[in-house]
Structure 1
Amino acid sequence: MGKFLIIGLGNPGKIYKKTRHNTGFMILDKISKNYSFCFLKKKLGFVSKFNYKEKIIFFLKPSTYINCSGKSVKYWMKKERILLENILVISDDIYLDLGTFRLKGKGGDGGHNGLKNIEKEIGTSHYARLRFGIKRNFEKKTDYVLGNWKNEELNLINPKLDLAMKIVFSFIKDGLKNTMNMFNNQ
């Protein structure tokens, strides 16, 4: 029975709940609603353990704030003895068009401080990441990513959350390469 760690990046607290930077949290919340499980406050994060097709999945929303997400990821990888190839990090990406996805098995941080910190803490950039595009016109990057979604943006991205959920479960069931082949051009 394999173990997986699916991490959605975001910032804890009501003030950040509807921000673009919390896209990873939004996707995990969509999965938890669809599969009727909840997150419990644990060390360095909000965690849920879920069984799926004879696999154990740990869903993690780090409580360390996005810029220190690596501390939480490293802790839960070690605590649950999860192999590097069985982790998937879900984050927003300011350089991808709004509502588009990119799944990769390794790569740079693209200026995302959460991904940068994960790489620092686990000592490698060779981990799967699902990036969700939030790109629009903006003047200041920090103000934009920490700004709340507009209603017209939510109308566009809400249906995309279902696709994100399919990508996550395909990664678990079919592996990274097969999932990339199926979903990267959608």
Structure 2
Amino acid sequence: MKLICGLGNPGREYEKHRHNIGFMVVDALLSRARAQLNQEKFAAKVGQGTLAGERILFLEPQTFMNLSGRSVGEAARFYKIPVEDVLVVHDELDLPLGRLQLKAGGGSGGHNGLKSIVSSLGAENFIRLRFGIGKPEGPNARERVSGYVLSGFDDAERRQLEELIGRSVDMAESWVRDGVATTMNRFNRKA
């Protein structure tokens, strides 16, 4: 069994925000895996399905972003899922919108959800599907990051989202079927 977790914030007021792209990708994966998030445990919405012939535990933490590790850690320990079989889908400020990247391990890059997961798992070597959302530019850009990630996509960006989420789903399925290296080689070069 592998674990695929999408990061986001619970609640209707957050569902279309940039910070919730992980939830959006997991929702699309559920359709492909013929699965539903039909349980509440590990402080998360949880469901099981099959991708590429492999059993998958899907997870959307309901703890808010900064405490996501609690859900991921509890689920991974309960199901005895090795850290390298955990895929976390998250928004990435350091990549422009339209850029997707699969990455094995690494630091948190200032992303509080990833910091929480590293802390809870006690390891950094889980897999990340980094979904580029871009970042604010210009004066006071750093101070505007919080408002930016908690804002929705504009009309032009929303037109790209369906295709980008579809590519993310393809990447996640490829990771399940073919592993990290093959998936990175196949998808990371594409803009």
SS at 1:90 equivalent: strand
CA distance in 2, matches of 1:117, 1:19: 20
SS at 1:95 equivalent: coil
Which segments of structure 1 move beyond 6 Å, counting only runs of 4 or more? none
Q: Hey, what does 2:10 align to over in structure 1?
A: 12
Q: Hey, what does 1:89 align to over in structure 2?
A: 88
Select which of 167, 170, 180 maps to 2:184: 180
CA distance in 1, matches of 2:35, 2:57: 11
What is the aligned length?
Answer: 184
Deviation (angstroms), 1:51: 2.3
Aligned pairs for 1:25-174 (under 5 A) are: 25-43=23-41, 44-138=43-137, 139=141, 140-174=144-178
Letter in 1 for 2:122: G
CA distance in 2, matches of 1:65, 1:11: 5
Deviation (angstroms), 1:52: 3.2
CA distance in 2, matches of 1:130, 1:121: 19
SS at 1:97 equivalent: coil
Deviation (angstroms), 1:53: 3.9
Letter in 1 for 2:187: F
Deviation (angstroms), 1:103: 1.0
CA RMSD of aligned residues (A): 1.3
Q: Name whichever of 30-39 and 58-67 sits farther off.
A: 30-39
Letter in 2 for 1:111: G
Unpaired segments ≥5 residues, structure 1: none
Letter in 1 for 2:20: N
CA distance in 1, matches of 2:11, 2:167: 26
Deviation (angstroms), 1:178: 1.0
Matched-pair contact (CA < 8 Å) for 2:67–2:116 = yes
Q: Describe the shift of the 1:52–1:156 C-alpha distance in structure 2 as closer, same or farther (beyond 3 A).
A: closer
The TM-score with structure 2 as length reference comes to 0.92
Letter in 2 for 1:13: G
Deviation (angstroms), 1:35: 4.0
CA distance in 2, matches of 1:137, 1:122: 31
Unpaired segments ≥5 residues, structure 2: none
Deviation (angstroms), 1:94: 0.7
Matched-pair contact (CA < 8 Å) for 2:33–2:51 = no
CA distance in 1, matches of 2:88, 2:52: 21
Q: Describe the shift of the 1:92–1:150 C-alpha distance in structure 2 as closer, same or farther (beyond 3 A).
A: same
CA distance in 1, matches of 2:32, 2:9: 22
CA distance in 2, matches of 1:11, 1:28: 13
The TM-score with structure 1 as length reference comes to 0.94
Letter in 2 for 1:49: Q
Deviation (angstroms), 1:149: 1.6
